[in-house]
Structure 1
Amino acid sequence: MPLRAGLFYCAGIAGKMNWLLVRHVPSASRYVVFFPGDISDFANKHAPYSYSLEGLLWVLCSKYPDDTVVLVKPRMMLDHFAIYANFMMVDGMGNPRHLSDKRNEKQADASRPDEYDVPASGHLRQLLSSLGKELGEEVPSSLVLVGFSKGAAVLNALMRDPEESLWSAVRTVHFVDAGLAIPGVFPLGEQELQKLNKVVPQEFEIWLHCTPRQVEDESRPFVAHEHDAFEAKCKALGVAVQRRMYAAGLPVSLDMHFDALRCFVTSREDQDGGDRRCGFFQAWRAVAEAADDDWT
């Protein structure tokens, strides 16, 4: 599928700016807003393309062919670390500051990071409004939010700021192989979830999509525990939540982690995703390597 995308430098709140990489569908009734994670610098010369932001946008567009897909680029990339400083206070590696402070200084409570919050929802709402002006259209009244890997931290920043003008349009939130290098990928407390549940539409759902790369990592056992606890908390509070596991039993690899973007199901009716998409990024690289060999 060929990809035509535009790059827009859009204004949020308080003079903050973000680059948005956009596949625009003029007739679309929905925006899919995507927050990627860290982008590593790999030795294989083809991997940087397949794992690039443009490559990840292509994958998302294949899953949402009829929607406008908006990839929100981090405020900056420090080496390969995504720094979403316009949506939350972060440390030097892009982790939420309230989590790294708790880990390093034992000063902050990860379940109540109020003093570290910024108006994330207001910033996203204004970014989309600025984009709508660039595209010459109104922002649709239906939004889907997708956070991959560290991008899930942005989803949590948005959920801690349940501004009704944004969240009344959000139908679905997808956490795709969410995880951080430190504990606290789901820092929302009960009161925050209750406030969110009051402003979202009736059909609102949260989806947790996992692979063994994240939830079976022996060096980070907290990732699996946090997924379990967050799912239980949502169910206890009446927040609709779905959970899916992909690539169970397969050898763990970095490709598996990125495959989650191709595997995750976008809705209960989705027949395109699932385990049959495992191996997508490995196959992509193999094709690129074969093509390169033909030229040498």
Structure 2
Amino acid sequence: MVSNLTAHCENLVRERNISAKVDGRVKAAQSIDKTLDRRLQHRIANQLGAYRSVEEMFHDMHDLAGIRIVVDYPSQLEPANRLIEEAFWQAKSPNIFTRERPVGKEWDAWFGAYQSYNHHISVKNGTQGILGAYRNVVFEVQLTSLPESLYNKLAHPLLYKQQAGDISRRDEMVIDLSHGLSLCYSICLLYAQDKLGNIEQPDQGLMSAMRSAANDGNDGQLENMAPLLSMMPDMVKTQSASIRKQEPGSKVSTELLTSMLSTLPEQCPPEQLWIGFVENMKGWDTKLEAVETA
């Protein structure tokens, strides 16, 4: 079922010329048991009784099958939302997670919260072919953008799941910064395409690496970051490694600072100077306030 629904959604976005990555997943058995038990207790509390058919279970299990659509640019969210509303029957209004939601505890995020749309939908009556068998199944489609998905690699485990426990104000600032940098990527790429008159052919190497990094964005795993990290300039890797060798809280020497700035033009092409500078500064983090002047 999931593979058929995924293929159908891939065809839909392709027909509308929406650049997107479509993935499907099936809810884990243990998670299904917990959800059914929770929904059963809700039915009993509302005097609806036990489930009488498999169809009733499917109706309550709106996320038994899940589709995730990640559009390349935030500007494509609106047409993708319209596509979903037109192509499927809406079981209920979508859950909209807006950028205006509060984020974290210590820092008022400049770039807002993770933005996504969760649709609970089913195949329309009268649908023919293999999809017609799923008319009574309600499934979930999560729609977000590539920059939001990249940002959520940090925000979901650290802010929502709190896997590292309480984090500092500085940590929340860095997470917010990652959101801004992800959004800036989309703006820069669109600008470059407009200047080159090459809207349909973005940098496929970089786009593929970003998609890989954003894949399975809610699991907190970093294995898929490798393709994106491999594109980092060698100078950035070397200088960042030197910084990491220092003890936490130790001072950064003037020599190391000036060395980084002087070697940037030599080891980075002009279009990557800012990337190189940002990567070095991110590696220093709290040491920025402790630069030696002697």
Same fold (TM over 0.5): no
More strand by share: 1
TM-score (norm 2): 0.24
Say which one has the larger Rg.
Answer: 2
TM-score (norm 1): 0.24
Using CA pairs below 8 Å that are at least 6 residues apart, which structure has the higher relative contact order? 1
